[in-house]
Amino acid sequence: MAKTALSYVCQSCGATSTKWSGRCDGCGEWNTIVEEKPLSQGPAKKSLGNARGRAIALTDLSTKEAPPPRTAAGLDELDRVLGGGLVPASAVLVGGDPGIGKSTLLLQAAAAFAKSGLKVVYISGEEASAQVRLRAQRLGLEDAPVKLATETNLRNILTTLDDIQPDLAIIDSIQTMWADNVDSAPGSVSQVRAAAHELTTFAKSRGSAVILVGHVTKEGALAGPRVVEHMVDTVLYFEGERGHQFRILRSVKNRFGPADEIGVFEMTGGGLSEVPNPSALFLAERGQPAPGSVVFAGIEGTRPVLTEFQALISPSPHSQPRRSVVGWDGSRLAMILAVLESRCGIPFAGLDVYLNVAGGMRVNEPAADLAVAAALLSAREDTSLPAETVVFGEISLSGALRPVSQAENRLKEARKLGFTTAILPTGGKIANAGGTALKQMDDLTSFVGEFFGAG
Ligand code: TYD
Ligand code: MG
């Protein structure tokens, strides 16, 4: 029999290769390749051959079954991100940086679901039960009927869950779990993959919902296994800047609800508290209109959210000027700078450019293009946009402005927060601007001409 060959697995993207190297060919990360023994498998057959399998029963698409009954936690910000509550037999992955507040969130969620009548088991592989109890006490949750254990051995956990038959099992975290049939260290791709597979299979076969906690690498990928993301039904990211108290729970995949929905929380001394009106919170620190500051009327999932973009531009002492972005896509910034340079003739060469989204929010919408351009121009020309003005719209490479979806929703949220004027692209379906003064523009050049002189 052939010796089981070792394989080399990238801990960042899960790519396997037959030899070690310093840099992964799959994702380009350095020092992420680790030797792992492959799962014990029989010799692979060349083809399935002629032996017949069992015929599968096929059904129609139409159904008389009611949609799966969901359980709401009573935490609106969490329930919305889950698509209206927790679905039985579903597997949910909650990813986030270490220390961002995942354990706190899930302990609060465990207590909330337990109070809504679910049988909840919380298994921590990272903290001793006493530590978790102390945290529960601090959060005022010690009376919640949650069952607690500290364990990392997957076999023991599955046996326990099988006996107890909980409605919800929370595993904190997937990186600490180890399966005794897999020969690699806990946290390695094979272990994480095996643990996620066993636990999601458990969820499907026993009808329990399972929530897995996963740590994220510095690049923002779930440490090790992107493979876990496709095994589960729902992937949520818990994000935020360490220095800010705001935390955003974002659904990046949801088989039972809309993706890209967000829930906003504030980390306080007494745990996470819900933020029902995030726009007011993100704009709270904004003072008088200042050069470089622009309010963007965005949509996160189904909800309009206003955020402030801040830009700073200064002469660069370096031959290669800095382009630094927090909360927005760096390559999108480069694109907007290029459009401003080549379509509007406004050079940024020799200038350092800093762009920041206030409050630790991350914006992914291309609809923020025009707000970014406005912030850059406003910083460069040292002029502010008129007061009480929101901006949104996509910029194409030609310099034309493209209308974006849900304009009326954006305008409505802006009005609620006292904004009277909106700068936006021409077109788009706006039947009712509700009293907001609209300044609609065809292209970036006319925008520059109107607000920043000739540039
Ligand atoms: P934690 O939930 O342990 O993070 P994770 O599980 O994602 O690693 O949260 C840790 C941080 O949260 C810690 O720095 C302290 C802070 N925190 C509060 O500010 N208030 C609280 O009530 C709690 C429980 C934690
Ligand atoms: Mg934790």
Q: Which amino acid appears at position 374 of this protein?
A: A
Q: What 3-state class would DSSP assign to 192? A: helix
The string of DSSP letters for 112-163 reads HHHHTT--EEEEESSS-HHHHHHHHHHTT-TTS-EEEEE--BHHHHHHHHHH
Q: Which helix (H) or strand (E) holds 390?
A: strand 389-391
Rounded (10°) CA dihedral 6, 7, 11, 12: 170
pLDDT score for 59: 84
Centroid of ligand 2 to alpha carbon of 139 (angstroms): 15
Residue 108 in contact with ligand 1 by CB distance below 6 A: no
Domain boundaries, the chain: 1-38, 76-276, 281-452
CA of 14 to the centre of ligand 1 (A): 29
Host H or E run for residue 440: strand 437-441
Q: What does pTM read for this prediction?
A: 0.81
Tell me which architecture the domain covering 76-276 has in CATH: 3-Layer(aba) Sandwich (3.40)
Taking a C-beta distance cutoff of 8 angstroms, is the pair 293, 306 a contact? no
* Cα-to-centroid distance, 105 and ligand 2 (Å): 9
Atom of ligand 1 nearest to the CA of 138: 22
Whether 138 is in the pocket of ligand 1, judged by its Cβ within 6 Å, is: yes
Q: Which atom of ligand 1 is nearest to the CA of 105?
A: 2
- Taking the CA of residue 102 as reference, the ligand 1 atom at the shortest distance is 7
Judge whether 402 and 396 are in contact, CB under 8 Å: yes
- Name which residue sits closest to atom 14 of ligand 1, judged by CA: 99
Helix (H/G/I), strand (E/B), else coil: 228? helix
Decide whether any atom of ligand 1 lies within 6 Å of the 243 Cβ.
Answer: no
Q: How far apart are CA 295 and CA 4, in angstroms?
A: 59
Q: CA 286, CA 309: separation in Å to the nearest integer?
A: 11
**What phi and psi, each to the nearest 5 degrees, are found at residue 172?**
-120, 100
**CB-based contact 250:239 (threshold 8 Å):** yes
Is the shortest distance between the CB of 269 and ligand 1 below 6 Å?
yes
95 lines ligand 1 (CB under 6 A): no
Whether 104 lines ligand 1, by a CB cut-off of 6 Å, is: yes
Testing ligand 1's pocket by substitution, the residue of 134, 242, 267, 268 carrying the most ligand atoms inside 8 A of its CB is: 267
Question: Nearest bound ligand to CA 172?
Answer: 2
Q: Which atom of ligand 1 is nearest to 104's Cα? A: 2
Least distant ligand from the CA of 97:
1
d(CA 365, CA 351): 26
CA of residue 267 to ligand 2 center, whole Å: 14
- Nearest-CA residue for ligand 1 atom 9 is 101
CA neighbor of 328 nearest in space, from 370, 291, 289? 370
Q: How many CA atoms lie within 13 A of 216 on its CB side?
A: 20
Q: Residue 89 Cα, ligand 2 centroid: separation in angstroms?
A: 24
Ligand 2: centre distance to CA 237 (Å): 14
The bound ligand whose nearest atom lies closest to the alpha carbon of 95 is 1
Q: Using CA positions, which residue lies closest to atom 25 of ligand 1?
A: 271
- Find residue 150's DSSP bridge partners: 124
Right CATH for 281-452 from 3.90.960.10, 3.40.50.2300, 3.90.950.10, 3.30.230.10: 3.30.230.10
Q: How far is the CA of 100 from the centre of ligand 1 (A)?
A: 6
Peptide bond into 173 cis (omega under 30): yes
CA 399 to chain centre: 30
Residue with tokens 């946290």: 187
Going by the DSSP 8-state scheme, the letter that residue 85 receives in this structure is: S
- The protein residue with its alpha carbon nearest to ligand 1, atom 13, reads 99
pLDDT digits (tens, 9 = 90+) for 150-194: 999 999 999 999 999 999 999 998 999 999 988 888 888 888 889
Q: Is 115 in the pocket of ligand 1 (CB under 6 A)?
A: no
- Ligand 1 atom closest to the Cα of residue 107 is 2
Q: Which amino acid belongs to residue 84?
A: G
- How high is the pLDDT of residue 282? 82
Which atom of ligand 1 lies nearest, measured to the CA of 135?
24
**Beta-carbon neighbour count of residue 183 at 10 Å?**
16
Q: Is 107 in the pocket of ligand 1 (CB under 6 A)?
A: no
98 lines ligand 1 (CB under 6 A): yes
- Ligand 1 test: best mutation among 94, 100, 104, most atoms within 8 Å of CB? 104
d(CA 172, ligand 2 centre) in Å: 7
Q: List per-block mean pLDDT (blocks of 10 residues) for the chain, which spans 455 residues.
A: 68 80 81 72 64 88 80 93 94 92 96 95 95 95 94 96 96 92 83 92 94 78 66 92 86 88 92 91 80 94 91 94 94 96 94 92 93 96 92 97 94 93 92 91 94 69
